Amino acid sequence: MSLAVLAPTPAPAVGLPGWPPTDRPSSVSVRALAVIAPAALALALGLWGIRRQNTMWGDEAVTYRLAQRELHQLWETVQQVDLVHALYYAVMHVVFDVFGTGLFSLRFPSVLAMAAAAGGVGLLGSRLAGPRAGVSAGLVFALLPQVQKYAQEGRSYAMVCALIVWATCALVVSSSRRDRWRWSVYGFAMLLGCLLHEFAVLALAAHGVTLIVSRPSKAVLKAWSVTAAGVVAALLPLAIVSAGQSEQVSWIGEPVRPYPWLAAVVVGLVCTRAPLRSQGTVQLTALAAPLLVLPGALLLIVSLAKPIFVDRYVLFSDIGLALLLGAFLEYVHRLPRYFWTVYVAVPAALVALAPLSSSLRTPQSRSNDATAIAAAVRTEGRPGDGLLYLSGQQRTLTAADPDDTRLLVDIALLRDPVASNTLAGIERPAPEIAARMKRFDRIVVVRAVGMHKPGNPREQAKRDTLRRHFRAHTTNEVNGARVTLYTRMHPE
């Protein structure tokens, strides 16, 4: 008679009902792949056509000029206008000092930031739903059209997105541990993101919903509450002062068109209908869904009273979309009958994205082309001609290269942008502008789309004088603006 030694039966791994056991802790190399592969793809996509045919659009032109001002001049300027972007301008000032000015220096920090964001999304997905979901989520994030677009933008949105991604990573880790330094990392990253753009605080609200749904320990909720309160308290002075500069977003008109965001929300919510795998204290759906839906929804609610919704303000919502899509792809891949659809759908999506990705590298992908507008002014004008911006704010569209307008006379300008510590300078009173216009036989007029204020006396004086004393001679239509040469009807 022999004795059989029976090995103890392993306990089943925790997972969703009906699911195979969740993956064992992945090796360092697999986890590294979830970070490196998305980051590398985002970096490659960011470098592809980064110069956008040597053009920049209006907002980038503002960054380009302000970041070249001395820090004390920059500080004086943001106290009057664009305070919400003060930290970003200061960062770009340092970048320009170290690496010089130019389109590459203007945009490469955003490329690096979006690569860091893609790597962070991969890490998040890996921790929440396994390495395969992590790699998928990171790659999906890097391929999203909005992500590709703002990875090549000389503005703060990519940096904000990266900081929110890594703050979210710190939140997920901290939710299962009590180390104070991790909460400090979370708070610091969130605060930096909010200082780069105030609407990043909406991600803080989404994180709060995530923790409420996840039901962590009271110690975790208390730690998050204290950290969140600290972030809001530190942001409050900036929010109060910048509220007095709300005219800066007066260009956002009605009706609000949140269609790309709504499409992303629909896709994300469809993904939540599947039994997505998740592991840890914070569930993937509980993290991704609020991040996708809540920030945009809050902006839309505010927009009922005052239009404020712009998709780039909630670019970080794409983090939630990428996590849900990555987990959904992993779910489909595990289905014995449908796993092959992943190998069909992914190449088909890449083929469909190719034309759109290519178009994002063209000047037409932006709402205006400041480089083309300045070139049109140079073409239409000749030395000594008058130069007139129908709206004073349009002066920023030709500010990137002062040589484009150096030989023309800016009729309305009283004090230039640097001397007045403003974005577009200070213009003369309406009667004086009209009188000065009559001294010229030829005036080059810049009319930009969506930058006009009904009832503005200066704009009205410009229009009336042009109508009564000048006629359009030639017009140059460019992306986002019309540049027209006017000549006197009856030269005096």
Q: What is the pLDDT of residues 307-357, one digit of tens each?
A: 889 999 999 999 999 999 999 999 998 888 877 888 888 888 899 999 999
Residue whose tokens read 């780069």: 196
Q: Give me the mean pLDDT over the 112-136 stretch.
A: 95
Q: Give me the mean pLDDT over the 88-108 stretch.
A: 96
Rounded to an integer, what is the distance from CA 225 to the centroid of its chain? 27
Residue whose tokens read 């997920």: 172
pLDDT at 64 over 90: yes
Q: Which pLDDT score, from 0 to 100, does residue 141 have? A: 98
Look at residues 381, 382, 283 and name the one whose alpha carbon lies nearest to residue 324: 283
Task: Round to whole Å and give the CA distance between 332 and 330.
Answer: 6
Task: Round to whole Å and give the CA distance between 264 and 270.
Answer: 10
Residue 193's alpha-carbon distances to 87, 165, 432, in angstroms, are 10, 10, 44
Q: Which pLDDT score, from 0 to 100, does residue 27 have? A: 60
Q: Give me the mean pLDDT over the 407-411 stretch.
A: 96
% of the chain at pLDDT higher than 90: 75
pLDDT at 377 over 90: yes
Assigned token pair, 109: 């920090």
How confident is the model over 443-455, as pLDDT tens digits?
A: 999 998 866 666 7
Side chain identity at 308, as an amino acid letter?
Answer: I
Residue 491's alpha-carbon distances to 96, 201, 413, 437, in angstroms, are 47, 58, 23, 12
pLDDT at 188 over 60: yes
For 37, residues 6+ apart whose C-beta sits below 8 A from its C-beta are: 122, 135, 138, 139
| Phi, psi at 89, each rounded to 5° | -60, -40
Question: pLDDT band at residue 189, thresholds of 50, 70 and 90?
Answer: very high
For 444, residues 6+ apart whose C-beta sits below 8 A from its C-beta are: 377, 380, 381, 385, 386, 387, 388, 408, 483, 484, 485, 486
Residues in a beta bridge with 447: 482
Asked whether the whole model's pTM tops 0.85, one would answer yes
CB of 195 within 8 A of CB of 239? no
Number of Cβ within 10 Å of residue 343's Cβ equals 10
Residue-level length of the chain: 492
Side chain identity at 349, as an amino acid letter?
Answer: A
**Residue with more model confidence, 29 or 154:** 154
Q: Give me the mean pLDDT over the 224-252 stretch.
A: 88
CB of 408 within 8 A of CB of 377? yes
CB of 325 within 8 A of CB of 211? no
CB of 150 within 8 A of CB of 57? no
| Phi, psi at 19, each rounded to 5° | -95, 150
